[in-house]
Amino acid sequence: MLGQSGRPRLIRMRVFGVLLGLMLASLVPAQAETPPQPTASDVRILIDISGSMRDTDPQNRRTPAINLLIDAIPNEATAGIWSFGRYVNLLVPHDPVTADWRAQARSQVAGLRAIAQRTNLGAALDDAAYDFGFSTYSPPTDVILITDGQVDIAPNTDVNRVERDRILDTVIPRFAAAGARIHTLALGDAADAGLLEQMASQTGGVFAEVRQPSEMQSFIVRVLNSVRPGNELPFDGRGFSVDDQVTELTALVMHDAGEVELRQPDGTLNSVTSPGSQRWQAGQGYTLISIDNPETGRWEVLGDINDDSRIQVVSDVNLYWTQPTGSVVLQDQPLILELGVADASGEVVPDALIDVMTPALRINGSQVDGLRWDGRQLRAQVPNTYGDADIELEVTLDGGTFQRQIRKTIVNRPALLSELLVTDQGIQWRLYPADRGLVFEQVDLRAIIEGPVNREQGFQTHASGYFYINLPTDLPDGNFRLSLNGEADVNARRVSQFGVAPIELTLPLPADWPRILNPEALPAEPVTMTGPETEAAFVKEPMPEFEELSAQTPVATDNAQTDPVTEPQEPSEPFPWLRYLLLSLPGLLILGAFFLVYRRLDQRSKGETEDLLAEDRGMADVAMDDLGLTADLDDASMDQGIDQARNRPASDQDAPVIDDVFDAEEAEPSPPERTEAPRVSMEDSLDTRALDEDVWGELDSEPDPLDDLDAGEDDDLFDISNLEDGLSDLENLNLDEDDPFKDDPFDDADNDPAKR
């Protein structure tokens, strides 16, 4: 019986699952086969304001470089600026880039002062990664980190070493997993170049080490190629040619002094003071010009122009890189270059157009042969003879009536990068993979120690991917030479030359040596601070407003004008109601059909349940009939029996006759037990205040519809509202009248002389 009753429920569940799957499938619209569109840029700038920056950049040359970055960020991008020393300060909210955002950013950067006492690189990166892992975050993200120092969060060197290891082991992998590139600028000799280079190489960013602040703009130009990669028009230093396929032009003109002017093909002369319909933004050492639908023909640039100038365009013919994917290539390994060509929507251009485009390759300004068409791809393999210098790649397509150009800057590095760490426990030699794309397997690396004593020690593999040894603490004083030997499978290729130069080490180390030893540079002199250091003017600001975090308002600094924060406006285009209605209509129809089927199955199940209940009631009635009893207590025959008992003579009313009720063959039932009347103590244990306040009536103010199934059968069973009235009626009842037991000879009350 249970199996039969559970079967309809199982059927309903299966039908529900099938219909629900069909409904959800109909609600999901089919994805259109369109090429992926470029995502909006997300730029996050981290600026070091430690006190040492006053000596590293005394003329504050970083401000014009940062302003160049602020002005060159695309309008559709999102950007934010953080400053950091001991604490991290949200300088400019991480919001969509608008004219107001740029004005606020320039004002805040101009008011920066190098007053912080320490350099908390890890906290700055943590704050810049505040939304990683949320559903609203989407890569790629470009983080630009400018610093002149090392990890310095406490006077204890071991604490700083632990924090540095945390950045290497946890923070950098988190950025790499989120698709966020860290572009790092090591300003001066005191910067932790090894750590900053690892940040860039492991995340696909750009690393630069500059000695003079005036070189910062070249770093920013390189970063802009990653932030807003695009096609360019060849620029010969005096002008460029615009074809009819160009719909938008952005000219970044770098100049040493003075102003620049732009002459159109029709002879019109434009400048920052007379831009016409163009958009001009001039800064110290640069001018940014944006032009919509530029006139075709030859354009001339007038002024003292340098080689970093770029003319980016948006057009129907675009080059894009597929190899190399990162910013690091291996020394002594061939340069493998691959490029594709697509139109403005991302589709591959027709073969007829490919046939008329002639490619050309230049490396570090020199023409290099070997770039050829391979189907619809451009490929070349060039010997790598460029040492450890940066490599400037430049590919140009000449289509006769138009030209397109694309650039890429890569860094030539050995397979492993080397550094020494000095701790209170001794000296540690570390080897880092030069690129996150390198996979090391079957590693057998050994350190050869030569000097007053000669030893050989194997490298261990750290969980985060680098290799290390701790030099023996019992090495005697003297001059030592550390060299690397061994081999490993790197990207399924056996390699025995890793490009790690030997290290000359003299023990004991001087007391003023820095904690991080760069084998390629001498230790820098300690930086002396001038003037008191205080961070009272900088307050730790909350994170910007984010839809999956609690909304907070950033705290403005003292030198900034407080402006009301305005929410970005939604696009004004109408909502496509008809499209979504048509997409949802099949699902709604299936949902309605599912409801009707479910209702029919539910009614059928209820009918089967009622039949089962009726069958149970019938069986109960049959059992009562077998016992010779009737279920109706108000039967007229019972009333007739009571009247006959009243009309009997007194001698016949002494006791009821058992044979009149039970058959002679059945056993005589035991007399009923006496029930004890309620005592006062029992009555006191009942709390009747709730009954007096009619609380139960309030709870039942909305009856359950299911209770109507058995209405009239169970209501009186729990209704005690008339209990007192019933008891009062019992008090007035004369129990002696017509009582067949009133003359019981065994009743003690009848034998009491007082009652007689």
pLDDT classification of 425: cutoffs 50, 70, 90: confident
Cα 541 to chain centroid, rounded: 21
Going by C-beta distance under 8 Å and a sequence separation of 6 or more, which residues neighbour residue 426? 470, 471, 473
Is residue 18 classed exposed, middle or buried when 0-12, 13-18 and 19+ CB atoms within 10 A define those classes? exposed
- Considering the chain, what percentage of its residues have pLDDT values greater than 90? 38
Going by C-beta distance under 8 Å and a sequence separation of 6 or more, which residues neighbour residue 713? none
pLDDT confidence of residue 38? 56
- The Cα 445–Cα 459 span in angstroms is 6
* This prediction's pTM: 0.63
Beta bridge partners, 490, equal: 440, 493
Q: Is the dihedral of CA 646, 650, 655, 659 positive or negative?
A: negative
Is pLDDT at 222 greater than 80 in this prediction? yes
Is pLDDT at 598 greater than 90 in this prediction? no
CA–CA–CA angle 476, 478, 480 (5° rounding): 100
Going by C-beta distance under 8 Å and a sequence separation of 6 or more, which residues neighbour residue 437? 325, 326, 491
* Averaged pLDDT for residues 104-117: 91
* Averaged pLDDT for residues 154-174: 92
- The Cα 19–Cα 167 span in angstroms is 51
pLDDT classification of 280: cutoffs 50, 70, 90: very high
> In this structure, what DSSP letter does residue 52 have?
T
3-class DSSP state for residue 404? strand
pLDDT confidence of residue 645? 47
- The Cα 133–Cα 120 span in angstroms is 23
As a whole number, the mean pLDDT across the chain is 75
pLDDT one-digit tens code per residue, 455-480 = 999 999 998 889 999 999 889 999 99
pLDDT classification of 575: cutoffs 50, 70, 90: low
Most confident of 279-283, 600-604, 697-701, 728-732: 279-283
Higher local confidence (pLDDT), 405 or 654: 405
Going by C-beta distance under 8 Å and a sequence separation of 6 or more, which residues neighbour residue 510? 523
pLDDT confidence of residue 653? 45
Is pLDDT at 620 greater than 70 in this prediction? no
Amino acid letter for position 17: G
324 close to 337: Cβ distance less than 8 angstroms? yes
Is pLDDT at 27 greater than 60 in this prediction? no
User: What is the set of domains in the chain, with CATH numbers?
Assistant: 40-228+529-561 (3.40.50.410), 236-308 (2.60.40), 331-413 (2.60.40.10), 417-524 (2.60.40)
318 close to 353: Cβ distance less than 8 angstroms? no
51 close to 202: Cβ distance less than 8 angstroms? no
Q: Reading across the β-sheet that carries 269-270, which strands appear in turn?
A: 239-242, 297-302, 261-263, 269-270
pLDDT classification of 387: cutoffs 50, 70, 90: confident
